[in-house]
C-alpha cells in the first residue's frame, strides 16, 4: 500500500496527486513513468511523473474514465492506493542541442515538462516551453507550470482568453520559422502529435513524442502497448514511451488507443450511477 501525501486541483478536470513510493524515486529519470493501481480490483494504469521529492512521486491526472475519477473522488491525503510500480520505460534521450522547445496540450505532457525542463537546462540548452489549454480558467496554478524552470514560457489557449491564441502547433510553426530550434519534446493529445509530426517532417528538427498506448504490465510482457515504429513493432513500455515522432505510425497509434472505448464508457457510466 502506498500512502497519498498530497492532492490538489489543477483545474476542473485535472488534479495533482502525490504518493509515497521511495522505491520508484531512487532511479527515476525524466521520461520514465509509473504504473498505479488504485485498489486490488483496479486497472493497472500508466502515469507520467511530474515531481519527485523525498521518496514521493507527484502525478497530474485527468478525470477521464472510471479509475481516474474514482481516485479523485474516493481517495484523500492519508489514504493509500494498492500499487505503484516503476520507474518504467526509458529516460528520454537528452543532449545539448542549443535551442529546444517543450510542448504540451494535455495532462501527461504538462507533467513531463517539469522534469524535462530541469534536465535540458542542466545540459546547457536554451529551453522554450509552450503549454496549451482550452481557455484561461483551465490554466494550471503557476507552481505546476514549467514557467520558472525555463528560459521562455508561453501559454496558448484555444479561445485566446489567455496568452497566445491557438494551439502549440501554431506557435511552434512561428518559432520554427524565426528561431534555430534543434529539438522538440512534445506530448499530449494523440491527434495533435500526429499533426506535429506531419508539420515538422523534413524540417531538420528532431521531434520526440510521448506515445501513450494502452498498457497492462508495463514491462514488455503482454504486447498490449505495441506501436508500429520505423517499419517494425516496438513496445511503448519497453522501448518508449518517448519515440521519434517521424518514425511512428500515428494512424496505428490512434486506432489502437480506441480499442476499449465502448466498454470503458460503460464502466464510467456504471460507476457514476452508483
Q: Which of these segments, 68-76, 127-135, 232-240, 258-266, binds ligand FES (CB under 6 A)?
A: 232-240
SS (H, E, C) 209-248: EECCCCCCCCCCCCCCCEEEECCEEEEHHHHCCEEEHHHE
Phi, psi of 122 (to 5 degrees): -55, -35
Instruction: Compute the distance between CA of residue 91 and CA of residue 157 in angstroms, rounded to an integer.
Output: 29
44 binds another protein (CB under 8 A): yes
Minimal distance, residue 26 CB to ligand FAD, in Å: 15
Query: Of 225, 245, 248, 253, which one interacts with ligand FES (CB under 6 A)?
Result: 225
- Min dist CB 215 to ligand FES, Å, is 4
Residue 27: strand, helix, or coil: coil
Enter the C-alpha cell of residue 214: 494502452
Alpha helices in 63-200 (DSSP H): 66-74, 107-122, 168-178, 190-200
Single out the residue of 102, 99, 110, 101 nearest to residue 133, CA to CA: 110
Q: Among 62-70, 116-124, 216-224, 266-274, which window interacts with ligand FES (CB under 6 A)?
A: 216-224
Nearer to ligand FES, 22 or 223 (CB): 223
Residue 256 binding result from ligand FAD, ligand FES, another protein, none, given CB thresholds of 5 to 8 Å by partner type: another protein
The reply to whether 80 sits near another protein by the rule CB under 8 A is no
Taking CB under 6 A as the criterion, the residue among 224, 249, 252, 257 binding ligand FES is 224
Please state the closest distance from residue 224 (CB atom) to ligand FES, in A. Answer: 5
Residue 123 contact, options ligand FAD, ligand FES, another protein, none, Cβ 5-8 Å cut-off depending on partner type: none
Sort residue 131 into left (φ over 0), alpha (ψ -120 to 50) or beta.
beta
CB of 34 to another protein, least distance (A): 9
Q: Does 65 sit near ligand FAD (CB under 6 A)?
A: yes
Distance in Å, CB of 9 to ligand FAD, minimum: 14
Element (H, E) at 133: strand 126-133
User: Site for ligand FAD (CB under 6 A): which residue of 47, 145, 207, 227?
Assistant: 47
d(CA 112, CA 174): 23
**Rg of the chain (C-alpha set):** 18
User: Looking only at residues 19 through 38 of this chain, which bind another protein when binding is defined by CB under 8 A?
Assistant: 23-24, 26-27, 32, 37
Give the DSSP letter string of 43-99: --EEEE--EEETTEEEEEEE--SHHHHHHHHH--TT-EESEEEEEES-PPP----SE
| Interacting residues toward another protein by CB under 8 A | 23-24, 26-27, 32, 37, 41-44, 66-67, 82-88, 216-217, 219-224, 226, 228, 232-233, 238, 249, 252, 255-256, 258-260, 262-264, 266-267, 270-271
| Interacting residues toward ligand FAD by CB under 6 A | 33, 43, 45-48, 59-62, 64-68, 107-108, 111, 212-215, 241, 257, 260-261, 264, 268
Amino acid at each position: 500500500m502506498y500512502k497519498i501525501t498530497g492532492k490538489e486541483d489543477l483545474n476542473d478536470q485535472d488534479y495533482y496527486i502525490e504518493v509515497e513510493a521511495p522505491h520508484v524515486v531512487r532511479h527515476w529519470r525524466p521520461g520514465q513513468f509509473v504504473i498505479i493501481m488504485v485498489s486490488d480490483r483496479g486497472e493497472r494504469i500508466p502515469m507520467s511523473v511530474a515531481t519527485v521529492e523525498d521518496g514521493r512521486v507527484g502525478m497530474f491526472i485527468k478525470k477521464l474514465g472510471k479509475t481516474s475519477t474514482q481516485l479523485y473522488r474516493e481517495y484523500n491525503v492519508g489514504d493509500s492506493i494498492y500499487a505503484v510500480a516503476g520507474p518504467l520505460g526509458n529516460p528520454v534521450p537528452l543532449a545539448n542541442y542549443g535551442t529546444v522547445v517543450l510542448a504540451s496540450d494535455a495532462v501527461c505532457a504538462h507533467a513531463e515538462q517539469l522534469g524535462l525542463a530541469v534536465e535540458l537546462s542542466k545540459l546547457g540548452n536554451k529551453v522554450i516551453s509552450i503549454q496549451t489549454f482550452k481557455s484561461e480558467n483551465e490554466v494550471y496554478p503557476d507552481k505546476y507550470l514549467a514557467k520558472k524552470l525555463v528560459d521562455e514560457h508561453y501559454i496558448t489557449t484555444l479561445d485566446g482568453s489567455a496568452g497566445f491564441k491557438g494551439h502549440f502547433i501554431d506557435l511552434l510553426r512561428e518559432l520554427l520559422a524565426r528561431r534555430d530550434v534543434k529539438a522538440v519534446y512534445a506530448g499530449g493529445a494523440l491527434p495533435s502529435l500526429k499533426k506535429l509530426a506531419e508539420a515538422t517532417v523534413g524540417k531538420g528538427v528532431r521531434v520526440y513524442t510521448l506515445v501513450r498506448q494502452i498498457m497492462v504490465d508495463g514491462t514488455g510482457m503482454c504486447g498490449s502497448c505495441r506501436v508500429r515504429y520505423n517499419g517494425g513493432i516496438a513496445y511503448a513500455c519497453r522501448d518508449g514511451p518517448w519515440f521519434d515522432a517521424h518514425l511512428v505510425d500515428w494512424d496505428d497509434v490512434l486506432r489502437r488507443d480506441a480499442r476499449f472505448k465502448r466498454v470503458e464508457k460503460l464502466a464510467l457510466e456504471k460507476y457514476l450511477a452508483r
